[in-house]
Chain A
Amino acid sequence: MADYKMHILVCGGTGCRASQSEQIADNFKKELELQGLQNEIKVVTTGCFGFCEKGPVVKIVPDNTFYTEVSPTDVKDIVSEHLIKGRPLKRLLYYNPKNFYHVASTSNIDFYKKQVRVALRNCGFINPEVIDEYIARDGYSALGTVLSEMTPEEAIQIVKDSGLRGRGGGGFPTGLKWEITRASQNDQKYVVCNADEGDPGAFMDRSILEGDPHSVIEAMAICGYCIGANKGLVYIRAEYPLAISRLKVAIAQAQEYGLLGDDIMGTGFNFDIELRYGAGAFVCGEETALIHSMEGCRGEPTFKPPFPSVSGYLGKPTNVNNVETFANIPVIFNKGAAWFSSIGSEKSKGTKVFALAGKVNNVGLVEVPMGTTLREVIFDIGGGIRNGKRFKAVQTGGPSGGCLTEKHLDTPIDYDNLIAAGSMMGSGGMIVLDEDDCMVSIAKFYLEFTLDESCGKCTPCRIGNKRLYEILDKITRGEGTPDDLTRLRQLANVIKDTSLCGLGQTSPNPVLSTLDNFWNEYEAHVVDQRCPAGQCKSLLHYEIDPLKCTGCTVCFRNCPVGAISGEKKLPHSINQSLCIKCGVCHDKCKFKAISIV
């Protein structure tokens, strides 16, 4: 074996791959060979580092130098400067916009400083396609210990003691779920991993499966032992080709090592895992719908009880957990329940991964202890709002969640606090909105999503949401009346109370939470016929200020519909009946003479 003195870690997550990280890794290999360094320096493709905003990222160890926004053509410079001469390549280092310094080491980058990586512990550290690297990081030792030294009851007790709650959204205590499934008597039981991540903008589960698939496999086997199941199924959406391929590689490697299959580690315990593909229906993240989809039926939810732990897949007791929940399990056994429960807040233990997106500077995947405040996540880790704009709201919990405002910024994030604040944890999507976002349009956007994803089985969800959407649409078109706001709230509450499954019961949440927190904005739409954020096109028009207009003709030349007229060097004007409100003139004017009214 070659004796490597350096490793080059190249991010192989979906985001970085989309910007040619595979090519970067290839170029490194070629360049190293050219310089005769291939036996001294090793190139490793890893999972997601989380700092997707600055991708593709490359990390060089043991120097811990973190390069951002690397392109395949930069490879030559990195090799000749950093690898041969030991000089970090300054132009590719992370640039801290706050103090104008270039930062080399990850431990000094604000984005990473407040993070605690438990579920993401191996993402960006190991090569997910090499089982040895996972084993080197304590992989499968939790499974080994549980199988050879513990009874299922003892193992379940550890999970209960840890205080781990389901990371898919509901926050049901994981240990309790395992206990209930164990108590169900049957000749066959199943462990199901819910990898049907459907919230718009969320990619936590995908990144875990891409960066550390073995942790999920190991946890599923532990769960199987605890509840008395010998079969595991991963329900994963077909839109995640990379996650599927890494998972397949990982399962094959685990089988080859005898860590899946019959008589695992000589303990007589049998367990194997199969994949089931989802077609990308949002409702299939709901466990009963998910199970029906796996059975080959329509992905429609059914009434609970019976819970899947009693009667699930093919009518057998089935334990359904989310990817991130599973990823926490091996660590809990390796480090102990007490260690895990020492992290987090009183009722929510451990950490939570969030997909930070929207109008924030550092878009990416962040993992923070429960109880971290929204302000810390958005302003310290996320680096604040893009282009120096003002923070308006943050949407958590996806289409089932709600919007939190400035007054919630110092709320510690955990399951109960978010619900008390009118939103929910959800699977961990976090979309930051700034002053330019219209809250009525945001509510409309989420409703459009649920409308599209509603399975149509129950009336409140199928028809109620449609009506709700129509009212919102009417408001954004400037045709709303104050009565509409009352009707909106009434209808939303009825849908919430009467829908069959979680999708319908939570679909009005974005409407209700924006009504609660941004009543003024709704009022402005229906009373003043005005959109304060300047988003609703029907409610705004562009005007040229004759005092500021210099007659430079830029707007005239750029207007796609010829709505602007005027003589050279004289103030121009807009013909409102022709204007399509595209905003080009507003963006192009150098004199700020065009305003949105």
Chain B
Amino acid sequence: MKITSLADLRKIKAEVQEKIKLREYGENAENIVQIKVAMATCGIAAGAKEIMGYLIEELDFQGIDAVVTQTGCMGYCYAEPTIEVILPGKAPVVYGFVSREKAKEIIDEYIVKGEMVDGVIPVNYKTIDE
């Protein structure tokens, strides 16, 4: 394959950028949407893996720059799958009982429009950082 013009190069760049998108997101995670999916045994059993896959797909489909990562057990084993959503500059919000439909709602309402969605698990503990 030969690159025969600058336009050609730019086209290839757009195509291959996908390949390293994850790494660029990782470098500036604070400035984009971050979602952490609780992926302990309880989460996996409740279908967290499928939800994670769906989140990645849907965010990609809608063209939203977001980092979706796994995390350990958040302690809300009764409410799995749980996900934590961090919008840039905002406090983290944890959602419980996230099904595919709920995940779609979170993306459409909270992430896109910034409107709160039912199902938030309030923070009721302290960490050593506080």
Contact = CB atoms under 8 A, between A and B. Distances in A.
Interface of A: 3-7, 9, 61-64, 82-87, 125-126, 132-133, 135-141, 144-145, 147-149, 256-259, 265-266
B69 interface: yes
Contacts of B44: 84-85
A428 B1 CA distance: 39
Contacts of A259: 3
Contacts of A257: 1-3
A86 B40 contact: yes
A85 B16 contact: no
Given A86-B40, A135-B13, A138-B13, A266 B22 contact: no
Contact of A85 (B4, B40, B69): B40
Contacts of B56: 3, 5
* Chain A contact residues: helix, strand, loop or mixed: mixed
A266 B5 CA distance: 5
B124 interface: no
B8 interface: yes
B94 interface: no
A61 B2 contact: no
A141 B9 contact: yes
Contact of A62 (B13, B26, B53): B26
Contacts of A148: 5-6
B13 A64 contact: no
Contacts of A133: 16, 19-20
Interface of B: 1-6, 8-10, 12-13, 16-17, 19-20, 22-23, 25-27, 29, 36-41, 44, 52-53, 56-57, 67-72
Contacts of B57: 3
A136 B13 contact: yes
Contact of B26 (A61, A126, A135, A147): A61
A144 B9 contact: yes
A85 B25 contact: no
A3 B59 CA distance: 13
Contacts of B27: 64, 125
B39 A84 contact: yes
28 contacts: A5-B52, A7-B23, A61-B23, A61-B25, A62-B22, A62-B68, A62-B69, A64-B26, A84-B39, A85-B39, A85-B41, A86-B37, A86-B39, A86-B40, A87-B40, A125-B27, A133-B19, A135-B16, A136-B17, A137-B20, A141-B9, A141-B10, A144-B6, A144-B9, A148-B6, A149-B6, A256-B1, A265-B4
A258 B4 contact: yes
Contacts of B5: 144, 148, 265-266
Nearest to A258: B2
A265 B3 contact: yes
Given A5-B52, A86-B37, A136 B8 contact: no
B41 A9 contact: no
Given A135-B16, A136-B13, A9 B3 contact: no
Nearest to A9: B23
A144 B12 CA distance: 13
B82 to A, nearest CB: 12
Contacts of B6: 141, 144-145, 147-149, 265
Nearest to B40: A85
Contacts of A87: 40, 71-72
Contacts of B13: 135-136, 138-139, 141
Given A62-B23, A135-B13, 9 more contacts: A5-B56, A7-B23, A83-B70, A85-B70, A86-B70, A141-B13, A256-B1, A259-B3, A266-B5
B9 A265 contact: yes
Contact of B4 (A125, A136, A149, A266): A266
